[in-house]
Structure 1
Amino acid sequence: MNKAVFLDRDGVINEVLTDRVKFVNRSDQMYFFPGVAEAIRLFNQTFDYVFVVTNQGGVGLGFMKEAQLQAIHSDMITSLQKEGALIQEVVYCPHKPKSGCTCRKPNSKLIEDLARKYDVDVKSSYMVGDTDTDIIAGKKAGTKTVFIGKSDPLADAVYPDLLQAAHWIVDDAT
């Protein structure tokens, strides 16, 4: 079986709710955090797959069309790939918050679907996120979890940014 890292997008890979950008509704609003490409390159050396698993309620709320979101993700993958950082697939929940769908985190369907599709052993994989919903989704799916931020009592580890988390994840996985 394969190993994977599942990454939340907003707040882990890119800025959100900052002075520069509130939400990412266009590709030109995507500002990567420092060290993100380096972190993903580290994952690429140790793991079989790197995935992005993200709630994107802006689609359901009408702030952007699904085609716009797909273009943002395509541009994100291309930009990171130019820096040698490979993301195999991006999956997302486009539904409104509180819509009751099964795919929105904290539900684990997006992670579980990717795990089935790519024959991923979730017990040797990691979910990285910046909210409790990310951590809960990872726990439900059976992954180890890493919180990006100050503290989360549910997470297996807590780091201030993805690059610092990546070093711990790689060490923990090997």
Structure 2
Amino acid sequence: MQKAIQDALNEQINREFYASYLYLAMAAHFEAQSLDGFAGWMYAQSEEEYGHAMRILKYMLERGAQVELKAIAAPPEEFGSPLDIFKQALAHEQHVTQAIHALYKLAAEHEDYPTMKHLDWFIEEQVEEEDTVGRIVDRLQMAGDDRAALLMLDSELAQRSGEEESDEA
């Protein structure tokens, strides 16, 4: 594996671990607010992002690449309302999508076909991630200041099983 690809994949591992950490902080915030459904959804999202990092890490090892784990930045300490938090989550997913696309472009430029194939899964995953979080943002906007609607959505999000990523790592 070429050094440029290896370095970019190591950066993506860091992004995915940061995402896991970010969603973990969001989960803790929701749990402290007694919004257990939102918290559970974020805990599951944190685990999913950890799985993404591990998927890349294991791929790199299969290719004989050097894995370099770097420090993970601290997530914010304050998040705001549920709508604010999910807007932040959507912006983060959009940022990750851009990074995946840049990584794919780099792999194409270096004719690293195995990495391109590996990244196909992530490209599809990001479409799903943005859609899911975007729909939650839409529903939170519809709920507005209606506490009953917020609690109904909290209850609905509590149904997330975490098994959606069974093919993950």
Relative to the length of structure 1, the TM-score reads 0.29
Larger radius of gyration, structure 1 or 2?
2
Relative to the length of structure 2, the TM-score reads 0.29
The structure that is helix-richer by fraction is: 2
The structure that is strand-richer by fraction is: 1
Greater RCO (Cα-Cα under 8 Å, separation 6 or more): 2
